Structure 1
Amino acid sequence: MKYLRNLLLVAALVSGQGAYAQDMPQIRAATLKIGTVNWELSTIKAQGFDHANGFELVMQPYADNGATRVAFEGGRADLIVADWIWTARQRSAGRDYVFLPYSKAVGGLVVPADSTAQSLADLAGGKIGIAGGPLDKSWLILRAYAASEYGLDLTEQTEQVFAAPPLIYKTGLGGETQGSVNYWHYLSRMKAEGMRELISVSDAAQSLGLNPDTPLLGYVLRESFVADNPGVLQALHDASRAAKDLLASDDAVWDDLRPMMRVGSDAEFIATRDDFRAGIPPDKPVDREDADRFLQLMARLGGEKLVGKATTLPDGLFAQVD
């Protein structure tokens, strides 16, 4: 019903309510130029889900994530995409940031197709390529899982090569590393090219007693912006869910997105699309107990360098929407 309501509202706007559109509040979204969130945001724009929910989405692409955060912190943008651990750290430091879930897509560890490895224990003595650095949350979860399941200290018993996602992709496919930990969309492409998933971060997290349905990535806004624009948080949520529903059910919508997906084959396209769909979180509030367990693990493994002063879950971190 919500999707039908949105379509009717779009039709009304197109038929002549231009003055209303001009009065809409804007949400300026600072995003990574090649980021996967652009697939959802572009769908919101193309389908008119922003206008249907009473706001105008303005997309502001930047070259790197650091630039998006500078724009957000400097007031040149109203929204960025980040994980809630980072958002909790900022909130604990006194910033009025709130988190609206966007995706639960996480990566995993893949090995070459001809690898004999059947578990993380088989990578002892080998080389692992890792995107995101030593504090990458997927890497931390895999470290905790290896220690719990096999008594294996991955930092001590493997050689780690930290590099940008494209390089991890290249070296993994080239067989230069025995295992690869990469961002989810690169892993989709690696699996489509024949690499085999040894362990997913979701499975590792579940084994550690964490809830894999807890969304890690989300839209981050300032409470002051939300207060100045009543209803904008709910409107963003509804537009996001409308786009997710469409992306989850309509293959044709993906044809328009394919150029920005940077895939090299039909197999990569299908794998990336399907993994995006698998990463759509349930439309329900984040469970605080689940989130707190995750935060405690990140604090234990990453320390203050990762979580800052956020040793407990800050009140008001997760946006309240219907």
Structure 2
Amino acid sequence: MRLVQHLLGALVALLSLGVNVQADQSVLRISVLKFGTVNWELDTIKHHELDKAHGFDLSVQGVAGGAAAKVAFQGGEADVIVSDWLWVARQRAAGKDFVFIPYSKAVGGLLVPKGSSSKELPDLAGSKIGIAGGPLDKSWLILRAYTEKNLGMDLKAQSEQVFGAPPLIFKAALSGELDGAINFWHFAAKMEATGMHKLVDISDAARELGLDPETPLLGYVVKGSLVREQPELVQGFAEASREAKVMLASDDAEWERLRRRMNAKSDAEFSALKAGFRAGIPAPRPVDPVAAARMLEVMYQVGGEDLLGQARNLPEGTFYDPEKPG
């Protein structure tokens, strides 16, 4: 009896200190850009405790750049990062056991200023084009492949490229320093809100190349060992991500809650960002490996080993499949 009373007393003491006596939930550490749009989804997961509902605790670690996130991931300081599946394919071809979970299919376009005399791509010959993400930016490579195939035009040779960080390309485009610009989708949405318009939509260019624009380009990256050793954790994260997407796809009130962290300067920007995110939500189905293989083939033709290393073909196991956890 005294032992029982002692145990009950200890339990009461623990509860009074706010100690969780339930089984510990697995902590899943994700490193992402501090101000990246993925934080809108992660915020939704945390706010509605979708992580806890699926048996884990999501720990969001903000970093200054994508390179820092990759260092944390490869060094074991993070369990999840955000990248494109072409990078995952390259890593798998090099022997790294990384796996891609779809997050977004959002892509931008080639935008020109309001009142631009350029009405079609050939009009940009001799012009200055700003490109965020560097010479291996996926949208730029798709556009180059499109102009070569459909117009017989070498856009790289017939234009001057200005490479820079997304905010710099954004400012240069708005100031009139550029004749056209390719930027990450959320900056492109803000640019359109100011009056710039798409000369070419990258999704349309991809479709003209025989690619499926429904193929998600961006996603969460985890290690294959985590998928094999803690399949419930990875599946729980994937399901929490999907549930957050469902909320963001249909609930305007959820966006009002997120508005402050979206850094929208106007109602037009806010609406454009919301619409752009929603348009980028991928269908709730596994990535089509045939469509992905076709995209990789096209990207290798333009970007070569600089982009894809030894990944000439789609490595098996690139995409997460909850039906095949191993």
Q: Whole-Å Cα distance in 2 between the matches of residues 37 and 66 of structure 1?
A: 16
In the comparison of the two structures, how many residue pairs are matched?
306
* Residue 40 (structure 1) shift: 0.4
Q: Which residue of 2 aligns with 1:306?
A: 307
Percent identity at matched positions?
Answer: 55
SS of the equivalent of 1:157 reads: coil
> Is 2:287 aligned against 1:286?
yes
Number of the residue aligned with 1:266: 267
Q: How far apart, CA to CA, are the structure 2 residues paired with 1:252 and 1:125?
A: 46
Deviation at 1:224, TM superposition (A): 1.1
- Measured in 2, the distance between the counterparts of 1:259 and 1:153 equals 42
Residue 128 (structure 1) shift = 0.5
Q: Deviations over 1:4-36 (max 9, x none)?
A: xxxxxxxxxxxx99544x511111001111111
Q: Does 1:162 align with 2:163?
A: yes
How far apart are residue 196 of structure 1 and its match?
0.8
Q: TM-score, normalised by structure 2?
A: 0.91
Corresponding residue number in structure 1 for 2:233: 232
**Which 5+ residue runs of structure 1 have no aligned equivalent?**
1-15
| Native 8 Å contact 2:226 2:234 kept in 1 | no
Shift of residue 226 of structure 1? 2.2
**1:207 maps to what in 2?**
208
- Large movers: runs of 4+ above 2 Å: 16-20
Pair 1:193-2:208 in alignment? no
Q: Give 1:29-178 correspondences, 5 Å limit.
A: 29-178=30-179
Q: 1:116: Cα distance to partner?
A: 2.1
Q: For residue 228 of structure 2, what is the amino acid of its counterpart?
A: A
Amino acid at match of 1:221: V
Q: Deviations over 1:214-252 (max 9, x none)?
A: 000011001112223231221111101100000010111
TM superposition score normalised by structure 1: 0.93
Matches within 5 A, 1:174-185: 174-185=175-186
What is the rounded CA distance, in whole Å, between the counterparts of 1:232 and 1:200 in structure 2? 37
Q: Deviations over 1:284-316 (max 9, x none)?
A: 111111000100111111111100111111111
- Between the aligned partners of 1:44 and 1:222, the Cα distance in structure 2 is 21
Give the match's secondary structure for 1:155. coil
Letter of the 1:58 partner, please give it: S
User: Hey, what does 2:14 align to over in structure 1?
Assistant: none
* Preserved CA contact (<8 Å) 1:237 1:321: no
1:50–1:236 CA contact under 8 A, matched in 2: yes
Q: Considering only CA atoms, is the larger Rg found in Structure 1 or Structure 2? A: 2
**One-letter identity of the residue aligned with 1:182:** N
Amino acid at match of 1:26: V
- State the secondary structure of the residue aligned to 1:282: coil
8 Å CA contact 1:25, 1:229 repeated in 2: no
Mark the runs of 5 or more structure 2 residues left unpaired by the alignment. 1-17
Q: Which amino acid aligns with 2:39?
A: N
SS in 1 for 2:231: coil
Aligned-pair Cα RMSD in Å: 1.4
CA distance in 1 between counterparts of 2:260 and 2:110 reads 27
Letter in 2 for 1:214: T
Conserved? CA contact 1:108–1:199, under 8 Å: yes
Map of 1:247 onto structure 2:
248
Of 128-137 and 115-124, deviating more is 115-124
Letter of the 1:273 counterpart = K
Distance in 2 between residues matched to 1:95 and 1:234, nearest whole Å = 21
Specify the code of the residue in structure 2 equivalent to 1:124.
A
Code of the aligned partner of 1:72: F
Counterpart CA distance in 1 for 2:152 and 2:173 is 25
How far, CA to CA, are the matches of 2:193 and 2:20 in structure 1?
Answer: 45
Which whole-Å CA distance do the structure 2 matches of 1:148 and 1:182 have between them? 22
